[in-house]
């Protein structure tokens, strides 16, 4: 099973790039963030044409998450939104159990700037995500939390760590919040597969950051240990970032070996 995560930065604007990439990369599942579209306008038909059914949780203009799964895969126990979300809150979380794996797709708040209310909200959001794990799941289950975390875990995940240290996306408080999440029982799948590899998933549109490869690895797949044991590779596909009018994020692809998971290990809600 191949599970991908991609912040598409508007699914309507990126639709052709997305469908081309699906055909070429052939993931079984793609978790998308920043779809920026209301559910009624989500391009389900275009994804259907290339063989995917969609589960969607979007809104106008901002945020929005979706999961597309190859036809034939089982999709159960869809959950839209984080526990404790207010009405009309930003739509940033969508979970489903796909072929026995609990896939939790997240678009963590950006945080805007350190010290702002948005930054506090980001930290609180990560803490709420941890609370949801504690309340609903166990670390011995087959669980992946993937998406745009808007946090780089370590200095190796930042092209210019000295410049970024203390900034939003690489601030100690954010890394601590991410660390607390992982302490529950999650492994950074990319880092587990590639302990010393320098690779990035996001490059600012400005200043030719992609051309100079000045990026950050902020798109992550965090997996429980039983699922980590099945991960055979994690890669970041930079080719879509090379196109005209790309998303600022590249897709992350996790390869998972067939599991003979005993029944009951991958719960719904």
Partner DNA sequence: GATAACGAGG
Partner DNA sequence: CCTCGTTATC
> Under 8 Å CB-to-CB from 244, ≥6 apart: which residues?
none
- The C-alpha atoms of residue 217 and residue 233 are separated, in whole angstroms, by 16
> How is the beta sheet containing 52-57 ordered, strand by strand?
52-57, 65-70, 29-33, 2-7, 252-256, 231-236
Instruction: Considering the complex, state which of residue 99 and residue 219 has its C-beta at the smaller distance from DNA.
Output: 219
- 232: which 2 tokens? 């055979």
Q: Is residue 205 a contact point for DNA (CB under 7 A)?
A: yes
Instruction: Considering the complex, state which of residue 233 and residue 248 has its C-beta at the smaller distance from DNA.
Output: 248
- Of 4, 266, 2, residue with least CA distance to 147: 4
Taking the CA atoms of residue 22, residue 5, residue 241 and residue 158 in that order, the dihedral angle to the nearest 10 degrees is -160
Cα separations in angstroms, 237 against 116, 127, 211, 213: 33, 30, 15, 14
Per-residue binding string, DNA, 157-186, x by CB under 7 A, is ------------------------------
Give the SS3 label for residue 221. strand
148 is a catalytic site residue:
yes
Stretch that binds DNA, among 65-73, 104-112, 130-138, 157-165 (CB under 7 A): 104-112
Instruction: Considering the complex, state which of residue 141 and residue 150 has its C-beta at the smaller distance from DNA.
Output: 150
The least CB distance from residue 110 to DNA, in Å, is 3
Q: Of the candidates 109, 153, 185, 226, which one interacts with DNA according to CB under 7 A?
A: 109
| Residue 7 annotated in ligand binding | yes
Which residues from 219-248 bind DNA, rule CB under 7 A? 245, 248
Instruction: Considering the complex, state which of residue 33 and residue 141 has its C-beta at the smaller distance from DNA.
Output: 33
Q: Is residue 64 a contact point for DNA (CB under 7 A)?
A: no
Q: Is residue 61 a contact point for DNA (CB under 7 A)?
A: yes
Sign (positive or negative) of CA dihedral 112, 118, 119, 123: negative
Instruction: Considering the complex, state which of residue 162 and residue 245 has its C-beta at the smaller distance from DNA.
Output: 245
> Under 8 Å CB-to-CB from 163, ≥6 apart: which residues?
none
| Residue 213 annotated in ligand binding | no
28 near 3, Cβ under 8 Å? yes
The least CB distance from residue 116 to DNA, in Å, is 9
> Under 8 Å CB-to-CB from 197, ≥6 apart: which residues?
190
39 is a catalytic site residue:
no
Of the residues 52, 137, 148, 219, only one is catalytic, namely 148
Stretch that binds DNA, among 9-17, 72-80, 182-190, 258-266 (CB under 7 A): 9-17
| Residue 34 annotated in ligand binding | yes
Q: Report the interface residues with DNA, using CB under 7 A.
A: 9-10, 12-13, 36, 60-62, 109-110, 112, 118, 150, 204-208, 245, 248
Q: Which residues are the active-site residues?
A: 107, 148, 249
């Amino acid at each position: 099973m191949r599970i991908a995560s991609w912040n598409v930065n508007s699914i309507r604007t990126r639709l052709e790039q997305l469908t081309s990439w699906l055909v070429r990369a052939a993931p079984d599942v793609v978790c998308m963030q920043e779809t920026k579209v209301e559910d009624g306008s989500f391009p389900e038909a275009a994804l259907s044409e290339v063989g995917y059914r969609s589960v969607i949780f979007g809104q106008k203009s901002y945020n929005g998450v979706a999961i597309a799964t190859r036809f034939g895969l089982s999709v159960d126990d869809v959950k839209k939104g984080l526990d404790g979300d207010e009405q009309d809150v930003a739509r940033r979380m969508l979970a489903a159990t796909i072929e026995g794996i609990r896939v939790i797709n997240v678009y963590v708040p950006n945080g805007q700037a350190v010290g702002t209310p948005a930054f506090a909200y980001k930290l609180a959001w990560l803490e709420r995500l941890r609370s949801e794990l504690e309340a609903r799941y166990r670390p011995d289950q087959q669980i992946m939390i993937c998406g745009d975390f808007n946090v780089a875990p370590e200095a190796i995940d930042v092209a210019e760590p000295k410049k970024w240290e203390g900034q939003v996306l690489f601030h100690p408080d954010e890394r601590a919040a991410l660390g607390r999440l992982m302490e529950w029982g999650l492994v950074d799948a990319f880092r587990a597969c590639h302990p010393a590899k320098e690779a990035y998933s996001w490059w600012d549109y400005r200043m030719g950051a992609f051309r100079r490869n000045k990026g950050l690895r902020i798109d992550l797949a965090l997996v429980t240990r039983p699922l980590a044991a099945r991960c055979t590779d994690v890669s970041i596909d930079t080719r879509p970032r090379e196109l005209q009018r790309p998303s600022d994020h590249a897709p992350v692809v996790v390869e998972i070996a067939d599991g003979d998971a005993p029944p009951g290990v991958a719960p719904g809600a």
